[in-house]
Each structure stands twice: as structure tokens, then as C-alpha cells.
Amino acid sequence: MDIFSIFKRRKTETSELTPVAILRLTQEYVPEFYKESEKFKESKDFLKHNEWGLSLETLIEMADESGHYFSEDFWLDLATCADKMEMIQQAEFCRKQIIKNEKEIGKKTPKGWTTIKIDDTHFENQIAEIVKDNCTTERHQKDKFNELVKDNGFHIKYHGRAGMIYYIDNGKVLEIDFEMSGVRKYDILLFFDTLRSWTIPKNEPFAFGQQSEIRDKLLKWLKSKRIKSDLE
């Protein structure tokens, strides 16, 4: 593939930013999985002390040493930043990573995501908190969350082949993901038993026995709606 064909698809917003602004934005979209690494911390510290080149280099090292596939946006932003600082080798390295991604995983990794290759057919992703927050905000708007939160109990919202069940308890919110089942035995498949805390207040743990109590209420509610789930 001609490397320049990739860059024709690139939006121009980043090219209008200063190097420091690009670095800050890039750091913000690094998934939390990597933010405790020494390289990421060094990059933040270098940027704080206006060592822009070193901040960029340590971000490159962080991604390269992880062995994971960072997004096209990550590498393009760093390449643009390197171009602005006339760091020719670093810019070239960043652009080569985009070609490497396409050859080795064969798909684009969204902005704020990384792809971890388990084997030729299995992949995992890490997603930046800012991306999750943006998706949650969009979903809340679509689901009219501000009205739901006023009404205690369970509320189900479908989003194509997946969806969300909201449990409201006097201002506290638990969001329960589900997907449509592919077997007759169930209508939906719930992701409940791994939940350990409220969605709002964020990460507030359940009180003792509260998860079981909510589970029982959810089962009763589902039966009242004649919705068959794998929670039974």
C-alpha cells in the first residue's frame, strides 16, 4: 500500500495545533492501562518542563515497548508533532507503525484504543477513559437518562443487537450491559455477575449483600416483562 494514500484520509485539525497541544491531546487519549508506566510518566514530566522532544520520544518508546498496536490517530498525531519540531527520524518511525498495524492486524484501531494481539484470530482492546466517557454521554442523551434517573427501578434500552438495563435507586445508578441472544432459550445475555460497584456514584462498591439483592430484583423484573435471560 502507498503510505501517502493513508494520509490523504487524515483530517487536518491536528496540523493546526502547536506541538505542546498535540502532545497533551495524545497523552489524554492514551488508555489508562498504560498511564502507570514509567515512560508515560516521564512523557508527562518532560511536557510539564517544556521538553517537547523528549516528551514525544518517551511516548513513542512507551508504545513501542508495550508490543501493542496503538491507533492510527496516535501515530499520525505524533508524526505531525515530530514534523513540526523537525524530528525527521521520529516522524518516519511513527508513519511506519501505521503500515505495520495494517499488515499485522489488518484493521484500524479507533482513536483512544489499542489492540492487543492474542493470536491470529483473537484480539483484546484497551480504551481510554475519555473515549468511554464520550460514548456514555452520547448513550445517555439517546436514552434520555436525565428523565430515567428520576424514576426508581429498572429501565431497558435497546441499541441494535445490544443494550443497557438501568437500575435506579434514589439517585444511585447501576448500568447493566446486555446483548441479544443467538439461542431460543434466552432473549438476552446479561453481564451482571462481574459487577462490583455502582455506575453512579462512580466505582462506589456495593454494600454487603447488595449485589445479590439487586440480582433477585432484576430476575423478578425480567420475569414480569417476560424477558428470558441467562441470569436465571
What is the mean pLDDT of each successive set of 10 residues along the chain, which is 232 residues long? 45 81 97 97 98 98 97 97 98 97 92 93 92 94 95 96 96 96 93 94 95 97 96 84
Residues 168 and 113 reside in one and the same domain:
no
Quick one: 53 and 85 in the same domain?
A: yes
Does one domain contain both 182 and 121? Answer: no
Domain that holds residue 107: 3-127
Residue 136 covered by a domain: no
**Given this model, what pLDDT does residue 9 score?**
47
pLDDT of residue 11: 47
- pLDDT of amino acid 134: 94
189 and 116 in one domain?
Answer: no
The single-letter code of the amino acid at 178 is F
**In-domain check, residue 135:** no
What's the pLDDT at 122?
86
What was the pLDDT predicted at 34? 97
Residue 230 lies in a domain: no
Structural domain contains residue 172 = yes
What pLDDT score was predicted for residue 63? 98
Task: Count the domains in the chain.
Answer: 2
